[in-house]
Amino acid sequence: MLDSFGRKINYVRVSVTDRCDLRCDYCMPLDNQNFIKKKEILTIQNLITISESLIYLGIKKFRITGGEPLIRKGIRDYIEFLNSQKNKKNLEEILLTTNGTQLSNYAEFLFKNNVKRINVSLDSLDSKKFSLITNGGLLTNVLSGIKKASDLGIKIKINTVLLKDVNDDEIIDIVKWCSSNNFKLSFIEVMPIGDILKKRKDQYLSVEFAKKIINKNFGLIKSNHETSGPSKYFECKNINLTVGFISPISNHFCSTCNRLRVTSNGKIFPCLGDNGSEDLVPYLEAGQEMKLRKILSDVIFNKPEKHYFDINKESYIKERFMNTTGG
């Protein structure tokens, strides 16, 4: 389905929970207690109902996100539903974004259910720094889960958020590690989503910073590789690595955005960087399918042209954090 600007909208990111077993400062800081009430969390059947209508309207790619999606109760049932749709040729791809902590337990299940590509959010390869960023996470758990998934044949992409004076000294190490393990890699600019104690501009580092370091050390050639996500890819021919850069601040990609986001309490956001949303919960009862499809089609058609992120200004998205809308 096309929106009013002629963009083909065929990709949805479904946040199945806003809970996470890590507490990264830029995403879900310890002082953020704005969690969705448990009674408001969609049931798995609710998620299936919304997904069926989105598939009917032409959404072909589903990315399961959180919070951490693999801690969601009933997640296996939802993934099995999506797999059944893929087997019927109603979907092209089932994707997952995870912090990796639960991958050791879920890798075989994911592979069996046609989740063949996953993104792992990983901002440091230093165990002490990783623990600091995540407020107590164990890097060894994540790395063992990534290895198990990779050994099964799941394609891994590492997503690293650039954080000024935190992991900017690890860019070369992360590049080398991804190359040696045949993982793809994307560097991402921090986004001003949710009020935190720190100023976002003090965390912010442009992807151009990483790009210059990588080009100087390994060389960068523009790549023909494309996915349904926003990364602009390059090849490091000398070390056989595909590396992407996601630049919502320094060079936004709104003109080619093909995505919607559904939260775990049933709100649909046509734009991550816009406060506009629609509540789908009133349309989830039996017999409401036509109304639900009408709401969804209106949301798609009226998708905003662009966001207005400005790292130097106070965020206009205050109480919604990345763990709510998903990565």
Burial class of residue 4 in the structure, from the number of CB atoms within 10 Å of its CB (0-12 exposed, 13-18 middle, 19+ buried): exposed
Q: What SS3 class is residue 23?
A: coil
Beta carbons of 200 and 163 less than 8 angstroms apart: no
Q: Which residues contact 215 (CB under 8 A, 6 or more apart)?
A: none
**144-193 per-position pLDDT tens digit:** 999 999 999 999 999 999 999 999 999 999 999 999 999 999 999 886 65
* CA-to-CA separations, 30 to 24, 99, 133, 249, in angstroms, rounded: 8, 17, 11, 25
Residue type, 114: N
Mean pLDDT across the chain, nearest whole number? Answer: 89
Reference 231, options 209, 257, 192; nearest CA is 257
Token pair recorded at residue 169: 């000294």
Instruction: Write down the pLDDT at residue 295.
Output: 97
Token pair recorded at residue 84: 């059944």
Cis preceding linkage at 276, omega within 30? no
pLDDT band, residue 316 (cuts 50/70/90): very low
Q: What SS3 class is residue 70?
A: helix
**Could you tell me how many residues make up the chain?**
327
CA distance 188 to 161: 5
- Look-up of token digits 């044949």: 153
Q: What is the DSSP letter of 317?
A: B
CA distance 304 to 307: 8
For residue 291, pLDDT beyond 50: yes
Reference 185, options 229, 248, 140; nearest CA is 229
**45-68 per-position pLDDT tens digit:** 999 999 999 999 999 999 999 999
Reference 251, options 209, 221, 220, 206; nearest CA is 206
- Give, for 62, the enclosing helix (H) or strand (E): strand 61-65
Largest CA distance in the chain: 60
pTM of the model: 0.91
pLDDT band, residue 304 (cuts 50/70/90): confident
- Domain boundaries in the chain? 11-325
Token pair recorded at residue 88: 């019927």
Residue type, 296: L
In CATH, what class is 11-325?
alpha beta
